[in-house]
Chains A and B, each alone.
Chain A
Amino acid sequence: MAKVHILPIEYPDKSNLPELANAVANEFRWPVVVDEQPFDMQFALDERRKQYNSSQILVALHSVPIGTDDKIIAVTTYDLFIPILTFVFGEAQLDGPTAVVSIFRLRQEFYGLPLDNTLLEKRLIKETIHELGHTFGLHHCSNYTCVLNASTYVEEIDLKSQHFCDRCRQEIELKTRVPL
């Protein structure tokens, strides 16, 4: 049976992972497992930028053994980038098996604000569902409450819900019906 793998990389505080797995399972109606296998991200480090190239991580995640129709999303504390942009919250292979999301810029402390783990968990859930949505071939959605709405600020992440809008819901239901 196809499932979603959550792979924590350089992610010391795993307390929010059970809730994340639960939210992903509810949204995609697929089984979700939190994998505990070592994965070294140093190859993706850009020394000059002090950031990790998310596109390279997506390619490397193919080496993690998962089922044919499974999806895998890495969650990390490292700051991510793609060469053309100053940063990304996450990246996914459109209609592919791999995705990655970082909490580096989801934390309130990054913006000089007091730590807020509840808010961080909500943001992590939304960004994880968002990136996984892309792995099922879905594009950004113009509905600002839909989890697939594009966010370039954390405030925009806070504005949207952790659920798909009706239109994206219909699409995701078709896409998640893979042969069991």
Chain B
Amino acid sequence: MNQTVSILIVDDEESVRHSLYNWFREDGYVVGVAKDAYDALEQMEKTKWDILLLDIRMPGMDGLELQRRIRQVNTDVIIIIMTAYASVDTAVQSLKEGAYDYVVKPFNPDNLSHLIRNATEQLSLKSENTQLRNNIRQISCGDEIVGQSPQMRRIMELVQTVAPSDSTVVIRGESGTGKEMIARAIHCHSPRRYFPIVPVNCGALPETLLESELFGHEKGAFTGAQTRRKGRFEMADRGTLFLDEIGNISPKMQMELLRVLESKQFSRVGGNQTIQVDVRIICATNKNLEKAVEDGEFREDLYYRINVFTIILPPLRERKSDIPLLAQHFLRKYASSMNKSITEIAPEAMNLLVQHQWPGNIRELENAIERAMVVGKPPTLKAEDLPFQLTAQSGTDESQPITLEEIEKKHIAQILKKTNWNISRAAELLKIDRVTLYNKIKKFQLRK
């Protein structure tokens, strides 16, 4: 019944090895025996054992010394120390050095069964824990950073470099470039990944609300504070606090924040108890902080306090080679969530996506794909499904300048198409008279 659990018995007495070997084999365990510590170390090198039963008194190397040696290379194995001579000192010593339990020979059969059953339970909990941690990692780090451009590769290198440390990171970039995704990637690769990453949009909250949001409040601290509430700093304890739009906070909050960042201590609003937290700070902004410091809008001391490590995210238009990958990524994402079997993007649609300037960056691209997925029909996403089809100017690539005349031609063609070549309606929309429109149609050789 326990075929997967393996037990190695280490005892210099043949009769003990023999009895335990038979006893455990009847329970279906995989059992091995070692006559001394050296034999045990040899067997540990050859095979992975789950549980070790070590006799404390053995000639040559004793059980405690063997345990020390094993622990240096293997922290997972469960070690149970056996002895015929009970002494509190050795028991405490062995437990201090990482033994799971300590038993005195001979054992009561029931105690032995319980001991092994508990150790087996611990093994399965350990393995379940590892599995769950992997699952958490997969879930919380599931939104992978998409991009193969040299800029994105460099950014991922920076993420990997800074993640294991506790340094404050400032992520800068235009709106929609994925600053929060990068913050999450740093958190996911850091030792804090099993604790929360708590985002706060500093720009979205007025000063008083932000203070209560960050530090929490005591009951009755202000009108409406009917219960005590934990702040984001407390919620992020042992994890990461992501302060988005840090450039938009008020001077008073800048001062408060600086004080907390320096001391890692704060009090809830309306409270006098000092709370200590262990938080890593990641900030993001699309503001030019240096200019804000120059203009006196951002405290210089806070700027130097947070500006330990900076990651600058390029706008999407500067890494166009990533657009097809990102588009495919969002296509798969929405195909799955909308349960639609759209599997590819037509080449002309992809051209349009690549040509577009994306002022809203990745967020805009994602929205465009989401909208196109709503209107598009399987199996291919077509150019006409894209939302910026009709706004030619926004889809124009700045790297290929066109003349005013060309823009006029395109615009008239679009209006005519929209009005189904109703000249009166088109002229009305263009705010020109019908004769002028006819002249322009002739001039630009437009056809229905």
Contacts and interface: CB of A to CB of B under 8 A. Distances in A.
B27 A84 contact: no
B28 A140 contact: yes
Contact of B18 (A55, A87, A152): A55
Interface residues of B, number: 22
B110 A81 contact: no
Interface in B270-314: none
Interface stretch (B100-108, B122-130, B332-340): B100-108
B408 interface: no
Contact of B105 (A84, A88, A91, A153): A84
Interface in A79-129: 81-88, 91-94
Nearest to A87: B109
A150 B113 CA distance: 9
Interface string B114-139: 00000000000000000000000000
A76 B25 CA distance: 24
B68 to A, nearest CB: 24
Interface string A139-152: 11110000000101
A152 B1 contact: no
Contact of B23 (A53, A82, A86, A153): A82
A82 B19 contact: yes
B15 interface: yes
A88 B109 contact: yes
Contacts of B112: 84-85
Instruction: Tell me whether chain B's interface is mostly helix, strand or loop, or mixed.
Output: helix
Interface string B1-24: 100000000000101101110110
A86 B109 contact: yes
Given A94-B26, A140-B28, A85 B1 contact: no
Contacts of A134: 26
B19 A83 contact: yes
Given A83-B16, A140-B1, A150 B26 contact: yes
27 contacts: A55-B18, A55-B22, A82-B22, A83-B18, A84-B16, A84-B20, A84-B23, A84-B82, A84-B112, A85-B19, A85-B107, A85-B109, A86-B107, A86-B108, A88-B109, A91-B22, A93-B22, A139-B1, A139-B25, A139-B26, A139-B27, A139-B28, A140-B1, A140-B26, A150-B113, A152-B109, A152-B113
Given A55-B18, A55-B22, A81-B106, 10 more contacts: A53-B15, A83-B18, A86-B107, A86-B109, A139-B26, A139-B27, A140-B1, A150-B27, A150-B113, A152-B110
Interface of B: 1, 13, 15-16, 18-20, 22-23, 25-28, 82, 105-110, 112-113
